[in-house]
Chains A and B, each alone.
Chain A
Amino acid sequence: MSLKITATITVLIAFVLGLAVLMNYAKFERTFSNLTQSRLAFLIQDLRDTLEFGLDLGLDPAAMANTAAILTREATQDPHILSISVFDDQKRVLHQYQSDLLKHHPVAPLASAWLATVLQTIAKTPQHVSDSETLMVGIPLVNNFGRTVGALILRYDRSFYDQELQHTLFDLIRAALLILVATSLAAWLSVWLLFRSARRELRQVGAALEQFLENRQVSASPFEGDSALKVLHVAAEQKSQEFQQRLVQADRILHLEQRLAERIPSLPEERQRDGERQ
């Protein structure tokens, strides 16, 4: 019983902890993702402003010589930036910064369809997308005549992002498990203490019954107490004893009747023999 109740409490606490971990993790994931996305969005918007300043001066995007330096300077702010690329409206790369990480772990090329989406977008806000390796932020470059002349795409190392999420989830699950173990132990101990008297009472009733069954002549109730169970047990034992005594009496009567019955058929023969003698 204690184990079943403890198991139920443990399941309940596990349910509560599971939901709490789920909610905290979901909040963390959303906040972390928002922080990362808004940072990258700010960075790319700042770059866009710088590049569009050149476009406003009438420069051709391909001819803006300092673009590579600007990209490198911005990219050094965060070692997890894998690449920043400036594309023209024909999806050709004009300028590009590439992190050294790409030399060791090359990533899949940029999806052409998404680049087309970025080039076609009218919104001034950056577009976000992700694949299995990178988070991508893209924004179109628009000249002062309102024409899209290219796009700026930033790719960010997803492994860092995923590691942070996994690490946090692992920490939360580990803590939840520890709390679960601690509370389960506390539950087990408390339930054991809470039901100790009921268990003892049942054990005493059981022991008294066993003793009664083993030796029916021994008087019942070798324990003290006045709980309903004990009182009823004493009464039941007394009644059982009474019935046993009646069984014994019944057995005696039966044997007597059996003996009598055995003797009755021989009585007429004896009488006949006696008559013959006389």
Chain B
Amino acid sequence: MTASFRFTRLFALTLSLIVIALVSISFYAAWVLERSLIPQLDRKMLTVGVAVNAKLERALRYDIPLEHLPGVTDFFGTVLAADPDLAYLVLTRHDGTVLHQYGTLLPRPEELARATTAALETRSAFQGTAVADSIEQQRSPQALTAHPLGDFYDLALPLRSGETVLGVLHIGANANFVVQKIQEILFDIAIVFVIAILVAFELLLLLVHHYLVAPIDRLETVLRRIADGDLSHTLPVSRDETGWPARLLNRLVEQLNVAQQRLLRQAAHLQGVAPAAAGRLSTNLGSLWRGFTLAPEGRPVLYQPADLFGARIATFLFIFAAELSQPFLPLYARAYATYLSNPPSPLLVSLPLTVFTLAAALSMPLAGWRCERAGSSRTFAEGALLMTLGLIGAGLAFNFYDLLVWRALTAVGYAFMYAACQGYVVVNTSPQQRASGSALFVSGLMAATICGPAIGGILADRIGYTATFGCAAMLAAGAGLMAFGLLRTAPPSTPALRRSAHGMIRQLAGNSRFVLLMLFAAIPAKLLLNGFLFFLVPLTLNEFGDSRSEIGRVAMLYGLAALFLGPLFARLADRFALHGLLVGVGGLLAGIGLIPVFFFPTTTGVLVGVLLLGVGQAMSISSQLALVTGIGRSPIEQFGSGPVLGSYRLIERLGGACGPLFAAGLAALFGYAGAVTIIGMLGVLTATLFSVSFLVLGVEPEPDDEPPPVAS
């Protein structure tokens, strides 16, 4: 049974158990809710029924025949309009004939006739058992309860004039009242399921890899090396099933090395006593050791290759923590901004988001420097500490300015953690493995961008903003603790040889293709993401009356599209060399999706916009990176890929930081829906300019286009 087969079965098992747990708790909840809510519904029907009955009986006291009571249907309509929990009001004669009725859904006449007869028979039974036939007793909840009637719960109240029963008033509620209430949260339950799948996938992948695949791989590698005569490595000993063979194998390797060292020591002793004999011995031993590699000085080295899955789960956890507040952050900021000006200007509301993106962009170089000095594990832990403090502070902020400071601290933590994970992947992969290593990192990131907003919205709806920030802080702290175990094998990398950044900037600024790519693709992409998805979506949907859960659900669509379509488009682009085309089409698609929001200001309109943004950016993001490496081949050869790609990321992030401010400025002028549309139009315009420019210039620079190398 291979490890991947075991993982598949384990994943299937986990999914089955999650489904069983969710279905079981949902059915039980439906039963518990029905048990508790139906008596309350009964009471309400009785309250309404008694009041309506009293009014009808008052009318009957004026000797108006029941059939000719005027305005009864309108009166029923008024009562039902004020109470959406009730389905109908029907007045029947004592023989069951329907006289007046109102309701969007009504039971069949024969059902009503049967219910009327049953109600009157119950009354007779009361009289027969000599129970005092007072109206109060009949009206008490013990005496009158609703009964199932087709698709309804029906409460039948006798209507009397004096001592004579003239008819029966039926008050009905939908029998699926509780089921409808449960159905209202089914979407949320489905979201929880999707997120549980993603979290299960991430965690199980890590566990199976960390506790089974990696130890067995290590065991196999060391065994293979021993089989090849290499006795220089031992294995890390864990406390699980792989620990025992690893310990024994280490003992074997150490014993063989010790025995060899003992022989070498004795040979060295002989060298002093009888050099000729020692020389002969050395020749003999040399031929004996041939084909074997022993540990230098008899001290075997621990064989512990880096675990990239550790970086993936660490990325997943901290991005999850950072994204939890995404669907409500503008709403949260608006609540604080209201204390400064009421109503607050969109620019003020956008500040916490701008501060976050700007602080994250500007602290990236510092984070990279720290990672080079202290290693990934320590940098990640420091970032986790900063982020935890920032999230707790944001949840408990005293005022708007306080919130800005905490968001900036969170952003610095975010930058540290991001740089640590990225650095870990770079340090622990060969150039050939780097793409697959980055894909692991990006998959963790994307999975978290799906889970974070959706769960954050649900949590904010149920437990409030502060507690949701608390949950995010716990996640960040948990990620920091896990990083000690997951990223610790990364040695601090040797600081790269520094070259003049000035020369690189000059060369990049002189590269027209690079400038056009930045201006018309990279910056607009981040501007759309931060301005629309992170800032305008929560505020626009809130204006449309959507809950935070719904905002989270809409926001997660971006991550879903990016996670599933990103790798597909990346493969297509690589296979058919479509990078330029995909950047252009992706940009157009992302922009076009936003334009209809002003004309169709509905949740669906925003949802389509988010979805198309996700699809468009799934097309363009990986292709953009490929274009940068193609366009910037010359500076990359001269300065290395790190500084060039770092500059690209910094420019892109600075563009992203402008997104919320730009969107807020537009929202102040044109409203939220108008701002979405204008941002979309800007996206279309920049994508068109990009496409035209690259159609004219071409993606690949001509040999004579290349600027002369700048001396560094």
Whether chains A and B associate is: yes
**Residue in chain B with minimal CB distance to A47:** B51
A250 and B37 in contact, given A35-B85, A257-B277 (Cβ under 8 angstroms):
no
State in angstroms the CA–CA spacing of A202 and B47 once bound together. Answer: 71
Known: A17-B21, A27-B185. A229 touches B248 (CB 8 A): no
Contact of A38 among B25, B83, B252, B263 (CB under 8 A): B83
Collect the chain B residues with CB atoms within 8 Å of residue A4's CB: 207, 211, 240
Q: Known: A24-B25, A239-B229. Is A9-B47 also a contact (CB below 8 A)?
A: no
Residue in B13, B139, B463 with the greatest tally of chain A CB atoms within 10 Å: B13
Q: Which residues of A contact B67 (CB under 8 A)?
A: none
Stretch at the interface among A59-67, A132-140, A143-151, A178-186: A178-186
Which of A90-98, A240-248, A270-278 touches B?
A240-248
Q: Are A190 and B13 in contact (CB under 8 A)?
A: yes
B245/A35 in contact, CB under 8 A: no
In the complex formed, the residue of A with least CB distance to B30 is A24
Residues of B138-181 at the interface with A, using a CB-CB cut-off of 8 Å, are 139-141, 181
Majority SS at the chain B contact face: helix
Given known A-B contacts A1-B212, A183-B21, A27 and B32 have beta carbons under 8 A apart: no
CB distance from B231 to the nearest CB of A (A): 7
Closest to B284 in A: A253
Interface string of A158-187 (1 = CB under 8 A from B): 000000100110011001100110010011
Chain B hits for A129, CB < 8 A: none
CB distance from A183 to the nearest CB of B (A): 5
Known A5-B10, A209-B248: A77·B50 in contact at CB below 8 Å: yes
Q: B668-692 toward A: CB 8 Å interface, digit per residue (1/0)?
A: 0000000000000000000000000
User: In the bound complex, what is the Cα–Cα distance between A195 and B182 (angstroms)?
Assistant: 39
Query: A176 CA to B136 CA in the complex, in Å?
Result: 42
**For A213, what are the chain B residues with a Cβ–Cβ distance below 8 Å?**
248, 251-252, 255
B220 touches A232 (CB 8 A): yes
B208 to chain A, nearest CB (A): 7
In the A-B complex, the 7 residue pairs with the smallest Cβ-Cβ separation, listed nearest first, are: A235-B227, A261-B274, A236-B226, A24-B29, A232-B223, A209-B248, A206-B245
- Considering only CB atoms, which chain B residue lies closest to A235 in the complex? B227
What CA separation (Å) do A198 and B46 show in the bound complex?
65
Interface residue B204 (Cβ < 8 Å from any Cβ of A)? yes
Q: Which of A1, A39, A254, A258 contacts B211 (CB 8 A)?
A: A1
> Once bound together, how far apart are the Cα atoms of A14 and B139, in whole Å?
46
Contact digits for B449-462, partner A, Cβ 8 Å, 1 yes 0 no: 00000010010011
With a cutoff of 8 Å between Cβ atoms, the chain A residues found around residue B46 in the complex are: 77
- New A-B contacts (10) at CB < 8 Å, excluding given A202-B241, A261-B270: A4-B211, A4-B240, A21-B25, A24-B33, A175-B24, A199-B241, A202-B216, A236-B226, A240-B226, A253-B281
Q: Which of A21, A229, A239 contacts B220 (CB 8 A)?
A: A229
Q: Which residues of B contact A244 (CB under 8 A)?
A: 256, 259
Q: Please choose the segment from B195-203, B344-352, B387-395, B617-625 that sits at the chain A interface, where 4 or more of its residues have CB less than 8 A away.
A: B195-203
> Would you call the interface of chain A mostly helix, strand, loop, or mixed?
helix
Nearest A residue to B242 via CB reads: A202
A202 near B245: Cβ-Cβ < 8 Å? yes
B633 contacts partner chain A, Cβ-Cβ < 8 Å: no
Contact of A238 among B17, B227, B259 (CB under 8 A): B227
Whether B256 lies near A247 (C-beta < 8 A) is: yes
Convert A78-113 into 0s and 1s, putting 1 for each residue whose CB lies closer than 8 angstroms to a CB of B: 100000000000000000000000000000000000
Report whether B18 and A254 are in contact in the complex, using a CB–CB cutoff of 8 Å: no
CA distance A228 to B216 in the complex (A): 10
**Of B14, B259, B270, most A-chain CB atoms within 10 Å:** B14
Pairwise interchain contact B14-A12, C-beta atoms closer than 8 A: yes
Measured between beta carbons, the chain B residues less than 8 angstroms from A12 are 14, 18, 196, 199-200, 203
Least CB separation from B19: chain A residue: A16
Are A38 and B44 within 8 A (Cβ)?
Answer: yes
Given known A-B contacts A179-B25, A232-B224, A254 and B44 have beta carbons under 8 A apart: no
Query: What is the CA–CA distance of A1 and B240 in the complex, to the nearest angstrom?
Result: 6
Contact B228 A239, beta carbon cutoff 8 Å: yes
**B6 touching A32, Cβ below 8 Å:** no
Interchain CA distance A233-B263 in the complex, whole Å: 26
Is A194 at the interface (CB under 8 A from chain B)? yes
A69 to chain B, nearest CB (A): 12
Determine if B288 and A246 form an interchain contact, defined as CB atoms under 8 angstroms apart. Answer: yes
Tell which of B98-106, B186-194, B301-309, B531-539 binds the partner: B186-194
